[in-house]
Amino acid sequence: MSEKLVRVHHHPSSYSSIPFSSPSSPSSFFLTFSSSSSSSSSSSISIRFRTPLSSLTPLHQLHNSPLSINLIPISTDSHFDQLLSHTQHPHFIILWMANWCRNCIYLKPKLEKLAAEYYPRLQFYSVDVNAVSHKLVARAGVTKMPTIQLWKDGKKKAEVIGGRKAHWIISEVKEMIENECTM
C-alpha cells in the first residue's frame, strides 16, 4: 500500500497548516494543528497518509480472480454420490460442518478465501451435517466438526479435523492440498 510521510514541526500555542498532495492522487489535504502546551519547546508529529481506497485497483481485478468463493452446498446423498462419480474435477474439498458449531461458522469464510486461491482448479463444497442423512455423514467417516476432507477420484485421500485456531487449520488444509493434488 502506498504511504506518504509528512513531518510537522510546530511551536506551542501556534497553528500550523500544511498543504499536502499525493502525486498518485489528485486529492489535496490540509493539516491544521494547535497546541495548548505551556512549554516553550517545539514538538514533532508524524502523520502517515495512505492512498485513498478509491484509487486502488481491487485485488480481484489485478489477478482476474475473486477474493472469495462461496462453498457449494451438498444437501442430499444423491448429490454427494453424483459428485463422487461424475465430477469435472478429479479432486475437491468438502467442509463438514454444523450450523450450531462456532468453530465451523468462524472457519467457513476463511475456507471461502482459500477456495479463491485455488479457483478454478479445485472446487470447495460444504455439508451441513444436520441437513443430510446420518448415513451420509457416517459414510464420509465424519465424527467431529469441523472436518475438512480432500477427495480425489471418488475416494477420501486426507482430512483435517478442526477445533484449533483457524489459521492453523487453513495452513494444514493448504499443506494437505499441496501434498495430495497435482494441479
Please compute the mean of the pLDDT values over residues 58-87 and round it to a whole number.
81
Do 7 and 88 belong together in one domain?
Answer: no
**pLDDT attached to residue 24:** 46
The verdict on 169 and 113 lying in the same domain is yes
Considering the domain architecture, whether residues 70 and 141 belong to the same structural domain is answered as yes
Residues 123-175 have pLDDT tens digits of 999 999 999 999 999 999 999 999 999 999 899 999 999 988 999 999 999 99
In contact, 131 and 79? CB cutoff 8 Å:
no
Query: Each residue of 67-76: pLDDT tens digit?
Result: 999 999 999 9
* C-alpha grid cell, residue 139: 459414510
Residue-wise pLDDT for 22-47, tens only, equals 444 444 444 444 444 444 555 545 44
Tell me the pairing of strands 123-128 and 147-152: unpaired
Would you state the pLDDT for residue 136?
98
- Residues with a known catalytic role: 101, 104
> Is the per-residue pLDDT at 62 higher than 60?
no
| Stronger pLDDT, 178 or 16, i.e. the higher one | 178
CA distances from residue 4 to 24, 38, 112 in whole angstroms, order as listed: 10, 31, 34
DSSP 56: S
pTM above 0.75, yes or no: no
Give the residue numbers spanning the domain of 170. 60-180
Whether residue 90 sits in one domain with residue 41? no
Nearest-CA neighbor of 119 among 50, 169, 60, 180? 60
Residue that finishes a domain, picked among 18, 33, 56 = 56
- Residues 39, 99, single domain; the answer is no
What is the CATH classification number for the domain harbouring 134?
3.40.30.10
Reported confidence tier of residue 122, pLDDT bands at 50, 70, 90:
very high
Q: How many domains does the chain have?
A: 2
